[in-house]
Amino acid sequence: MEFIDFSKKIFETNDIDPDYIFFINCKKDLSEDELFQMLKYKLLIYNLSSELLYKEKIIDYKNIKFGNERQKSKNYFPEWERILLNIDFKRLKKFHNVDYRIFKKEFSKIKGMGNWACWKCADILDKVFEIKMKFDNSIFLEAYEYPLKGLLMLNNYPEEIKIYNDKNIFKKHISFAREISSQIGKIGIWDSNNILELETLLCKYHSYKHNKYKIGNDLNHVRKIKEDKRLYKYHKYLP
């Protein structure tokens, strides 16, 4: 399956980011502050089941199953928790309509909050909390490894990020990616003109082409939470 058909399928199935659907559904009953606390656990753990179990004090730190994105720096967890859980949501509202680079400069001061975590936090703030920062094409270089490799793959280049030291090549590649992704348009809450969506699509496409991801994987993983009676009160919010 090529990129455009793959992307349409990801949009149509909501497998692009089912965790976000869960958060948006929670907005019906939870306060903004409660939802923001859940965002913090998302950034710290990146495994929805463990996030909720830990939040509800059903498991302790030693029993957390961290997502792949947090495995390398999970030893920072106690420090993250101490710092992040004290951040007030009002402090993040000031980043609405501000250049992403300004947010990244501040957020990356927290140890372990690198390119992936900064980008992911901005993505969730955009989609769930309507805090929308300013992004341009060049900011994509400040994403992280895998969407950039996906961009290279899409343009039939070797997956060597150093190629983008040549900014002219990058400009051609990102322009092409945005041109073809714009053909998808908007499906549900997903908008293919949003560069944050493009990042996720390219990351998943890269994994798909390397046989590490199948469409529906993330959605099925989230829905397994319905089998856990300990988290019954959250079942109704699952996509």
User: Taking 90 as the threshold, does the pLDDT of residue 85 lie above it?
Assistant: no
204-225 b/e (C-beta count within 10 Å ≥ 16 → b): bbbbbbeeebeeeebbebbeeb
User: Taking 90 as the threshold, does the pLDDT of residue 125 lie above it?
Assistant: yes
- At 143 the pLDDT is 87
Lowest mean pLDDT among 24-38, 74-88, 147-161: 74-88
Cα-based angle 6, 7, 12 (whole degrees, multiple of 5): 100
Residue appearing with tokens 């469409």: 215
- At 53 the pLDDT is 96
Q: What is the DSSP letter of 215?
A: T
Q: What is the pLDDT of residues 186-231, one digit of tens each?
A: 998 899 999 999 999 999 999 999 999 999 999 999 999 999 999 9
What's the mean pLDDT in 59-74?
86
CA distance 32 to 145: 32
Q: What residues contact 152, with CB distance under 8 A and at least 6 apart?
A: 158, 159, 160, 161, 163, 164, 173
**What are the Cα distances from residue 38, in Å, to 12, 106, 140, 160?**
26, 21, 26, 35
DSSP symbols for 125-187: HHHHH----B--GGGGGGS-HHHHHHHHHHTT--S-GGGGGSHHHHHHHHHHHHHHHTTT-EE
Q: Report the SS3 class of residue 96.
A: coil
Measure the N-to-C terminal CA separation of the chain; round to a whole number of Å: 25
Residue appearing with tokens 């998808």: 184
Q: What is the pLDDT of residues 150-163, one digit of tens each?
A: 999 999 999 999 99
User: Taking 90 as the threshold, does the pLDDT of residue 63 lie above it?
Assistant: yes
- At 88 the pLDDT is 80
Q: Report the SS3 class of residue 196.
A: helix
User: Taking 90 as the threshold, does the pLDDT of residue 76 lie above it?
Assistant: no
- At 44 the pLDDT is 87
CA distance 174 to 151: 7
Q: Regarding predicted confidence, which is higher, 48 or 84?
A: 48
pTM of the prediction?
0.90
User: Taking 90 as the threshold, does the pLDDT of residue 40 lie above it?
Assistant: no
- At 1 the pLDDT is 81
Q: What is the DSSP letter of 99?
A: B
What's the mean pLDDT in 8-27?
94
The domains of the chain are located at 3-237
What's the gap between Cα 15 and its chain centre? 12
User: Taking 90 as the threshold, does the pLDDT of residue 237 lie above it?
Assistant: yes
User: Taking 80 as the threshold, does the pLDDT of residue 84 lie above it?
Assistant: no
Q: What is the greatest pairwise CA distance in the chain? A: 53
CA distance 50 to 184: 34
